[in-house]
Chain A
Amino acid sequence: MKEKFSVITSTCVPLPMENVDTDQIIPARFLKATSREGFGENLFRDWRYDKDGNLIKDFVLNDPTYSGCVLVAGKNFGSGSSREHAAWAIADYGFRVVVSSFFADIHKNNELNNFVLPVVVSEEFLAQLFASIEADPKTEVKVDLPEQTITNLATGATESFEINPYKKHCLMNALDDIEFLLSKKDDIEAWENK
């Protein structure tokens, strides 16, 4: 999971649903594990399988037409529960980027802390990307973290996206926040004693 992030070009998996909550990304009954591994198996569990465990064929993850490491989702992705298991499931399934016009705060942080890049695009860019993927499922996007741009390679449309310089540095160098915080112990003790 801790992999340096630079430029990714990939086909997309479209999920044009809005307000996809973390209970759908990974239902609560799969939160009982005590390790970080294996959550990808249950990503979108109740949309992927029916109650008898059979594949729901028309759900996008079960449709061989779509593939790639970029998930494209409707607005307000990752709302609800703070469960980081949702980000673990997305990363473990193989996604490196999630594109949406809007992310819930806690989930967005969780993705970043697991080296999955949440890319916030405009509603127009998102709608156009969904249209491109519908017209041609092999549509690719290019996500360039150093330049902070995303390009729909079917139309050539490019947008820049925001990421704070600290998190960008962490993603590009595969560094996590704990290492940073541990280097600040003196400051923490100074704060406690003031």
Chain B
Amino acid sequence: MANTLFDKIWDAHVVNSIEGGPTQLYIDRHYCHEVTSPQAFDGLRNRGLKVFRPEKTICSPDHNIPTMNQDKPIADPVSRNQVETLTRNATDFGLTLYGLGHKKNGIIHVIGPENGLTLPGYTIVCGDSHTSTHGAFGAVAFGIGTSEVEMVLASQCILQPKPKTMRINVNGKLREGVTAKDIALYIIAQMTTGGATGYFVEYAGEAIRNLSMEERMTVCNLSIEMGARGGMIAPDETTFEYCKGREFAPKGEEWEKAVAYWSTLKSDDDAVFDKEIDFDAADIEPRITFGTNPGMGIGISEAIPAPDPNDEAGKISYDKSLEYMGFEVGQKLEGYPIDYVFLGSCTNGRIEDFRAFASFVKGKKKADNITAWLVPGSWMVTDQIKAEGLDKILEEAGFELRQPGCSACLAMNEDKVPAGKIAVSTSNRNFEGRQGPGSRTILAGPLVAAATAVTGVLTDPRKF
């Protein structure tokens, strides 16, 4: 029978199928951060349980951590307690911890791939909706709640209803100045914020195939923003090349065997998806959002569209959203004055994002009205930035590099955009108050962020 890539990996991990119920799925890799795990560890303690397969869980604090002075104690006592709780839990239960100050510390979705802990064919979960990032390697990776974190710790398994399958093809070649982030924001706007709910998405087509691993991670990362359970891309030479030689990737004969297996991980030619959608890469221009969910997006040259007149219930939310942002139907946002620029997060905090940003701002100067937060996704990204001399370019252009973490993506640390201020952010969510109470967010890719940072107003990077 013809199978999809998703089916192949899912089916290979089924321990039990419960009649009329969810599947008991075996999990190869479990990532754990400080925010969604403490109650799960307490659950284990209350039941007198150990972690069933401690070698399969990797812990790294990322959400709460400051992006300056990480060598000093965390100032906020509540954040500090949560980070220390993760340290205590990892120690008590014998788990690998890349704690604050460790050279492997960083955003969990950045450090997993760069250390070879994420591999093709794996099932991967984490108490974080952006776990879909790891699907870029041809893995079935998805976010879970804390009760489910406890299940994985206790049994290395999870109970999940099997999602439906969807393939999204992005055909043809991307235009100049268009990034992976723009592809994702374009797809989400077409699909709407709930349009892929209940589905696991495979991305395919020439434009996807041509992406680097970092770019593929950006696309898969944002799958959840259209409601998808996860997103994935079939592994190929680009994938193998990225994985080869990484610390925890297989070596020698094991590597050859792994590649032989990984090469079978693709949807069969006659595989049937529950839904299949085609987009043309040439239709995509640099994207921005104008509302308070990632589906409310437009091309940077476009005006804010009117809501669907036939959707009365939807109009209430649409109007509330524009009121929050201070925008109007018909308004164009190019040239709109901006206060903050954030480069970073599990969406756009990788080396290629910093290369793109640095190459744009090289020889230019940061605008005076812009507060810029440049936050690498990990210390490995930071080291690479320095090895390539990008830090010098950024410094000369008036930018300062901060220390790694989730930072202003969700503002659990000090990096908060003040009420009423507006940020162009390379992160993943523009929800009300996401970057701080009352803050306003325009999501965009690293090039729009760079162009905006040097002009001080929302700017199309192609106009330079």
Interface of A toward B, CB cutoff 8 Å = 16-19, 21, 23-24, 27-29, 31-36, 46, 51, 74-76, 79-85, 87, 102-106, 109-110, 113-114, 127, 164-167, 176-178, 180-182, 184-185, 187-188, 191-192
Q: Does B293 contact A (CB under 8 A)?
A: yes
30 contacts between A and B (CB under 8 A): A18-B314, A18-B317, A28-B434, A31-B412, A32-B78, A32-B79, A32-B82, A34-B38, A74-B313, A74-B316, A82-B128, A82-B143, A84-B127, A85-B146, A102-B197, A105-B163, A106-B129, A110-B145, A166-B18, A166-B22, A166-B159, A176-B147, A177-B148, A177-B159, A178-B154, A184-B16, A184-B157, A188-B15, A188-B157, A191-B26
- Given A19-B194, A24-B432, do A82 and B155 touch, yes or no (CB 8 Å)? no
Q: How far is the CB of B18 from chain A (nearest CB, A)?
A: 5
Asked whether, in the complex, the Cβ of A34 is within 8 Å of the Cβ of B79, the reply is no
Q: How far is the CA of A109 from the CA of B161 in the complex (A)?
A: 9
B155 touches A36 (CB 8 A): no
Q: A105-B163, A191-B26 are in contact. Are A27 and B433 (CB under 8 A)?
A: yes
Query: In the complex the two chains form, is A188's CB within 8 Å of B145's CB?
Result: no
Contact between chains at A113 and B145 (CB < 8 Å): yes
Q: Does B144 contact A (CB under 8 A)?
A: yes
- Distance of B154 from chain A, by nearest CB (Å): 6
A167 near B16 with CB under 8 A, answer: no
B20: CB under 8 A from chain A?
yes
B460 to chain A, nearest CB (A): 28
Q: Is B35 positioned at the interface, with any CB of A under 8 Å from its CB? A: yes
| Complex contacts, A181 vs chain B, CB 8 Å | 24, 151, 154-155, 157, 159
Residues 179-212 of chain B, each 1 if its beta carbon lies under 8 Å from chain A, else 0: 0000000000000011001100000000000000
- Answer whether A51 and B419 are a contact pair too, CB < 8 Å, given A32-B412, A34-B81, A181-B157: yes
| Cβ–Cβ contact B24 & A184, under 8 A | yes
Chain B interface size, under 10 / 10 to 19 / 20 to 34 / 35 or more: 35 or more
When distances are taken between beta carbons in the complex, the residues of chain A under 8 Å from B64 are: 32
User: Given the complex of chains A and B, what is the CA–CA distance between A177 and B419 in angstroms?
Assistant: 41
Kindly state whether residue B229 has any CB partner on chain A within 8 Å.
yes
B411 within 8 Å of A by Cβ? yes
| Given A79-B227, A84-B145, A87-B145: A28 in contact with B154 (beta carbons within 8 A) | no
Residues of A within 8 A of B314 (CB): 18
Q: How far is the CA of A83 from the CA of B88 in the complex (A)?
A: 21
B463 interface hit (Cβ, 8 Å)? no
From B18, B43, B429, A178 is in contact (CB under 8 Å) with B43
In whole angstroms, how far apart are the Cα atoms of A85 and B38 in the complex? 12
Provide the residues of chain B in CB contact with A114, threshold 8 Å: 147
**Whole-angstrom distance between the Cβ of A112 and the nearest chain B Cβ:** 9
